[in-house]
Every structure is written in structure tokens, then in C-alpha cells.
Amino acid sequence: MENLEEKELREVWDHLQAALKNEQIDQFRAEFLDLHPYDQASIFEHMEEDDRLLVYSYLSPEETSEVMEHIDIDEIEPYFTEMDPRFASQVFAEMSTDDAVDILNELDKNKVASFLTIMDDEDASEIKDLLHYEEKTAGSIMTTEFVVVKANQTVREAMQHLRKEAPDAETIYYTYVIDEEKRLVGVISLRDLIIAEEDWMISEVMSERLVSVAVGEDQEEIARMMRDYDFLALPVVDFQGHLLGIITVDDIMDVMEEEASDDYSKLAGVSDVEKPDDNAFTSAKKRLPWLIILLFLGSLTASLIGRFEDTLDVVPVLAIFIPLIAGMAGNTGTQALAVAVRGIATGEIEKQGKKRIVLREGLTGLITGISCGIIISGIVYFWKGDFFLGMLVGLSIACTLIVATLAGSLVPLVMDRFKIDPAVASGPFITTINDIISILIYFGMATAFMNLLI
């Protein structure tokens, strides 16, 4: 069932499609440009290539750039490929520099070089500067379209400068203050600038208590900072404190979505984020790396069971409880893993301390292990009528849950310590590791207490 918004957009698209077919340029432009850029992009993505080629001829590069900025970056390459190269380069020149860089990073390097060669030297220079920064760092997501004022200016002079530069700036809610050597020394909000007396010096009204990030800072850490401080923008500086650019809240929202998708795919044991329109071959290629690793780990589990073949020959009933113990180990390990990865991502672990988290998880594993062990011991005793078998299974469950819980919390913490993405300790990976641990505990105890079981 379509919602009202989708129905309205479909009706608008019918009008626009008629205008395109009848080459009614003025009518098309009037209706299309009256829409919000997000709705423009939604309609644009449903057009056939022939219709899109007409749209390129009806819209200016600036108008087209607003549409492109609202299209999913993973699906944008075909649109720039079908555009005339000169028109495409003009579209890039009209886009916010950071958005243009994000898109160019997704394109073939030869195409990027071609677009930059055609582009105006000044626009190309700004984009090239940002393309040099490592992906997923502050430098790669910042924009250079911002307004600065000097500390030795008056409010009147600053306002005049702001009026002149504001049309080309991405945001003016914060105005950053620099000294004569272009070092960041303060910040002043638009509100404070408006209510200040015109003859006051900027140095008198600016705030020197500002937060900035280094140009090489990881984007995930920047997202955490902007969430904690409720900033609309964050300045980016080099090692000497020179202001290089700013990161705005809309860019951080994209980063948060990207990081969440990336972490989710890793937790699911997928090497890259899958899209609904991926074909079977593409999906298989993304899943196979982890599955092959898990296949070898699973073979190790089978090999371990084979080493306890003599124990199984003597007490074959032990085989019944292998799936139960391995499954419980995987479940509790995944729970602890999810808590640890979330704590690392949100910064809660840094606030509470890693030792405290590990102790808490250890105590949690102890409580859940003992509880489940007592329950399963009773079930096995009444089911099989064997007290020592029930004790063995219960004790194995208790020890397994304690160790699996600790493993689920410690593995991502260790990975984070060595600067490895903790989401790599994915659900399938930690489950398989805990399978191995649980088998060792279960059959180790069974072998040790073989006489009691016989």
C-alpha cells in the first residue's frame, strides 16, 4: 500500500513525464523545481535514461547538482557516466566540495582525472586538495566552503564580510575566528554576532572555548564528538592549529548511517554491505570470504570431536548434548559481543572503564552459567535418570557460558586496543570460536570423569 506522499509524487511524475514527452520545457522546469531536492532525486531515480538525458538539457548545472546531492552515493555513478563530460564537470563545480569529493571517490580514477581536467582551475584545486586525504578521516568529509573573520576586526566589518561570503558558505551558524597567521583562535555564533554592538572587536565577543578535530581524525570518533557536544559544525585543523575546513551535521548523519551499515554487515559475517538490487553473484562474492574462514574453523570443531571418539564410543549419549552446549555458548557469546561492540561505538566503555566492563560480563556469565547449569542438570537427570550425566552437562554448560561471555566481551576490546574494527569479531566468528571452546570443556570433563559416567 502506497502512502500519501508516494501517491502525490507519482501524480507529479505523471505530469512531469507528459511535459518531457511534449518537450514543454517551461512547464517541466516550473513543476520540477518547485519540489524539494529530495523529492526531485526520488523522481529522477525512477526515470529512464532517455528521460534523464532530456532533464540534463532542461536544467542548469547548479540545479542538477542539488538533485545529485540527494541521491544515494552508492548508486550515483551511472548518472555521471551518461552525462556529457563537460556538463558533469560543471555539476561537480556547483556542488559542495565535500559532496563532490565523496562522489568522485566512488568513480573510476580515469573519469575523475578527466572531470578535473575540464573543470575550472580554482574549483578543481579545492577538490584535489580534499581528494588527497585518507578516506574516512576528517579531511575526506570536511568542506572548505565556510566563513572566517579575524580577531582584530570590528563586528561591523565582520558582518559586512559575512554578507559577502554567506551565499557560497555551507553554513553560517558558526563563524570561526582566526589570527594573522590563520590559526583558529575562537568561534562566534550568528546569534552573538547579531546582538553585539557594531564597534566591538571580534576578540571581545568570540568564545575561546572551542572544540576542533585533527585533519586525520577518524570519522567515527568525529560523529561521537558531534553527538556529545550537540554541534552543528566542527572545525578541522592541522597540527599547527591552522583552520582547514569544517564538518557539518548533515555530513555526520551520512557517516553515522555508513558506519552503522558497515558494522551491521560485519556482525552478520559479510565482507561488504549488500544492497537489495545486488545479483546473486555479487551477494555470494561478499559473503564467501567469511564463510570460507568459518568453514575452516568449523572443520577444526569437527576435528576436535573426532579426537574424543573413544569417549563417545564408551558413552554415546554424550553426542545428544553437543548441539545444546555449542548453541548456548554461541548465544551467550553473541550477546556479550553485541554489548561490547555497542559500548565501544558509543564511547560508553571509555567512560565506565574496560576492567569494570569485563568484571561485569564475568559476573553476568557466572550468574547465567550457574542458573542454566542447575536447570539443565535437573532436566537431564529426570530425562535420562543419570545423576552424574546431569551433573556433567550442567557443569559443562556453567563453565561454557562463563568462558563464552568473557570471550564475547574480551575479543572486541582486544581488537579495539590494537586499532582493529571490533565489529570484525562478528556474530558467526565468535559463535564458531565458542563452539570450539565449549567442545573442549564438555569432552574434557567427560573424559576426566569417565569412570563415574560408566
Tell me the domain boundaries of the chain.
4-136, 148-262, 280-453
> What is the DSSP secondary-structure string of 363-427?
HHHHHHHHHHHHHHHHHHHHHH--HHHHHHHHHHHHHHHHHHHHHHHHHHHHHHHTT--GGGS-H
Q: Could you tell me whether strands 148-150 and 174-178 are parallel, antiparallel, or unpaired per DSSP bridges?
A: parallel
Beta bridge partners of 178: 150, 184
Q: Which CATH number fits domain 4-136: 1.10.540.10, 1.25.60.10, 1.10.357.10, 3.40.50.740?
A: 1.25.60.10
Beta bridge partners of 177: 149, 186
Q: Is the pTM of this model over 0.85?
A: no
Per-residue burial over 157-183, b = 16 or more CB atoms within 10 Å of its CB, e = otherwise:
ebbebbeebeeebbbbebbbbbeeeee
pLDDT tier at 183 (50, 70, 90 boundaries)?
very high
- Between 282 and 23, the higher pLDDT residue: 23
- What is the distance between the alpha carbons of residues 339 and 342, in angstroms, rounded to a whole number? 5
Long-range CB contact pairs, 25-31, < 8 A, 24+: 25/58, 28/58, 29/58, 29/59
Contact predicate 398/411, CB 8 Å:
no
295 φ/ψ sector (left φ>0, alpha ψ -120 to 50, else beta): alpha
Q: Which of 67-71, 143-147, 286-290, 374-378 has the lowest mean pLDDT?
A: 286-290
Beta bridge partners of 242: 183
pLDDT at position 267 over 60: no
Q: 351 is written with which cell numbers?
A: 567512560
Q: 430 is written with which cell numbers?
A: 565468535
- What is the distance between the alpha carbons of residues 409 and 425, in angstroms, rounded to a whole number? 10
Q: 148-262 sits in which CATH class?
A: alpha beta
- CATH code of domain 280-453: 1.10.357.20
pLDDT at position 48 over 80: yes
Average of per-residue pLDDT values in the chain = 84
Residue 412 identity: P
3-state secondary structure of 292: helix
Q: Looking at residue 417, what is its pLDDT?
A: 78
Element of type H or E holding 187: strand 184-189
- Average confidence (pLDDT) over 119-143: 86
pLDDT tier at 1 (50, 70, 90 boundaries)?
very low
